[in-house]
Amino acid sequence: MKMLINVPETVVADALRGLAAAHPELTVDVENRVIVRRDAPVAGKVGLVSGGGSGHEPLHGGFVGPGMLSAACPGEVFTSPVPDQMLRAAAAVDSGAGVLFIVKNYTGDVLNFDMAAELAEDEGIQIAKVLVNDDVAVTDSLYTAGRRGTGATLFVEKIAGAAADEGMPLERVEAIARQVNENSRSFGIALSACSTPAKGSPTFDLPPGELELGIGIHGEPGRERRPMMTSGEIAEVAVEAVVEDLRPRNPVLVLVNGMGATPLLELYGFNAEVHRVLAERGVPVARVLVGNYVTSLDMAGASLTLCQVDEELLRLWDAPVKTPGLRWGV
């Protein structure tokens, strides 16, 4: 596989140097692998810290800035960051109002954020944690016990970030983040496998003419493999899986997310089919986001995330945000 890299060993450091050059509003510590809002810590504001393996860009570093995260910790490709990174990030953004860790449900992330929370509390930093586990496709996988954390991470980071920017206390920001996670469900589809820089070839075999339903963001296998389907047929499967589990009573936020290699032409077409199926099921749509936000390197495919919202959650979603990967209202 051809890749626009120097060598696999420096791919994350090279990307961080490029992020720093493109976004001077961020403080990027390439050596220690921490990305921080340049204005952090903000007096009286709860700090939001997230992180995970690289390869899911713009998650998480692309979501650092006003209205979202205070800091992010990138690990190696598909590998959890280490507790020292998380501790550095928490210390850099703590204003005395506490820090919320937003953690995707993958075993390495959970263990390392738990350890970092203990270390931070030993240093007098008040820590709260929210676990994102929105994927309805499988209960357990190669990377996790329980449901995987996927597209809802964006909803949690955006809405909790707005709450923190409004000056809400840590307990309230944590409660809102938990509410968003509980109100969100996701389902992913792969049309091709991804290729990691270290391996240089597809991470799993997906024959021509077949797709994988229910994949995770590391290319983990899903619930089943089928012959290739039309966009409308895939939308039927994805919406059915999410709606049957979520059973929304309120309007929903819709995230039609590309896995890294699917062009917007296809994603917008898939979004049209998703809206058709939601309308047939009587699910009202409040807001829509289409694009590559929670990716899996160069995987072709998409994921669907729905989050049912009340007036407060919708107001916080609409609040201004200014990050490399998400921006509106500013």
Residue 260, strand partner residues: 299
Which residues belong to the active site? 56, 218
Q: Which of 321, 213, 281 is nearest to 273 (CA)?
A: 281
Secondary element (H or E) of residue 16: helix 11-22
Taking residue 43's Cβ as centre, other Cβ atoms within 10 Å add up to 8
Residue with tokens 């909790």: 160
Q: Which of 175, 161, 172 is nearest to 63 (CA)?
A: 161
Q: Which bin fits 52, alpha (ψ -120 to 50), beta or left (φ > 0)?
A: left
Backbone angles phi, psi at 289, to 5 degrees: -135, 125
**What are the DSSP calls for 7-72, one per residue?**
-GGGHHHHHHHHHHHH-TTEEEETTTTEEEETTPSPTTPPEEEEEEEESSTTTTGGGBSTTSBSEE
The answer to whether residues 132 and 105 touch, using CB atoms and an 8 Å cutoff, is: yes
What three-state secondary structure class fits 280?
A: helix
Q: CB neighbours of 265 closer than 8 A, spacing ≥ 6?
A: none
Q: Could you tell me where the beta strands, DSSP code E, fall in 109-199?
A: 127-132, 184-190
Kindly state the tokens that stand for 300: 């072709």
DSSP 202: B
Kindly state the tokens that stand for 266: 């296809």
Separation CA 108–CA 72 (nearest Å): 16
